[in-house]
Amino acid sequence: MGSNAKRKTSSSFLGNVLTPSFYLVLLTALTTSYHYLSSHHAEVDSYLGGPRVRSFENFETFYKRVYREQHANDHNRYLHFFGTTLVLAYAASEPLLLVAATMAVVVGLNVYELTYMFKHGALEGAAMLLTYLVLSRALLRSLSQPLLPLLLGYGCAWVGHFFLEGNKPATFTYAVFSFMGDFRMWWEIVGELGRRMLG
């Protein structure tokens, strides 16, 4: 069999495997495992043999205790808002990026549950980034398209933290919760702006 035939066979195999139903099954499996891990803290703690150094009962607790405190500066908040708006506008033109980002969040939540004993979120962040890039590459056949939202979103956010708020982004400790927090804060600011315009 020639090299062209081998290449064609492997690409058709990948085309058959990397289908929407494959991602749906994978998302379901990851969501189920996250639910199990997050609801069986004591057993996971015992198995992994360490205290929960980076532990919050849920995203809501993290958001109230850490995220809001790290985004007290209005200029930083609005720079985050601007960056997240650019990301959402870009993703609206390429909805498959939302599929990759959603999968990255689910993977990040699972990795968080397995690496809470570390003082940093490096593994969690790396798993999210790898998931996002691999799935984006598989779905869009491009690596440049998924990089632009990362540069827009994190670029604005990190400028806000380092130069306006004067603190370290929560991304380095709580990668997945910090990512989710950006969108939660975006929604809250939309609500604030709507109330100002209407009232």
Q: Indicate the domain borders of the chain.
A: 58-198
The residue among 101, 111, 83, 90 whose CA lies nearest residue 174 is 111
The reported pLDDT for the residue numbered 158 is 94
Work out the pLDDT band at 64, boundaries 50, 70, 90. very high
Residue 49: left if φ>0, alpha if ψ -120 to 50, beta else—which one? left
Q: Residue 24: what pLDDT?
A: 64
Please tell me the predicted confidence (pLDDT) of residue 171: 87
Tell me 119's DSSP state. S
Say if residue 123's pLDDT is above 70.
yes
Q: What is the pLDDT of residues 145-192, one digit of tens each?
A: 999 999 999 999 999 999 999 998 888 888 999 999 999 999 999 999
Measured CA to CA, the distance from residue 111 to residue 80 in angstroms comes to: 25
Q: What is the pLDDT of residues 87-98, one digit of tens each?
A: 999 999 999 999
Give the per-residue pLDDT at 58.
Answer: 83
Measured CA to CA, the distance from residue 133 to residue 14 in angstroms comes to: 16
How many angstroms separate the CA atoms of 59 and 85, rounded?
Answer: 22
pLDDT reported for residue 114: 81
- The residue ranking higher by pLDDT, 24 or 177, is 177
**Is pLDDT at 133 greater than 60 in this prediction?**
yes
For the chain, the farthest-separated pair of C-alpha atoms sits apart, in whole angstroms, at 72
pLDDT at position 18 over 60: no
> How is residue 176 written in tokens?
């997945």
* Average pLDDT rounded to a whole number, residues 56-78: 91
